[in-house]
Amino acid sequence: MVSFETASCPAAGGTVSGTLAAANIQGVPGQNITLGDFGALLAAVGSNTTYANVHTVKFPAGEIRGQVELRDEDQDEAKGRSR
């Protein structure tokens, strides 16, 4: 699990961005990731086995959830997808 906090998004929506570091990686033994193991996180993202779960004050168990996958910009364009 990655702990990552940012400023509040605007009410009409917005983009969340930031930088992840080893200090953001929490240990999740059942998911084969140990505290601070940034390499394990990268391996999980590279194998397309990760997901994001966004927690908010209104929905503390998770409001938005989705698969995180590594994508190739050239392949996306060939499939008619934009960034």
Q: Under 8 Å CB-to-CB from 55, ≥6 apart: which residues?
A: 61, 62, 63
Looking at residue 9, its pLDDT comes to 64
List, for residues 14-69, the tens digit of each pLDDT value.
766 778 888 888 887 787 788 999 898 888 888 888 888 877 788 888 888 888 87
What are the residue boundaries of the structural domains of the chain, listed by start?
A: 22-78
Q: For residues 25 and 74, what is the distance between their CA atoms, to the nearest angstrom?
A: 30
Q: State the sign of the Cα–Cα–Cα–Cα dihedral 11, 1, 52, 45.
A: positive
Q: Is the pLDDT of residue 6 over 60?
A: no
Q: Which residue has the higher pLDDT, 83 or 20?
A: 20
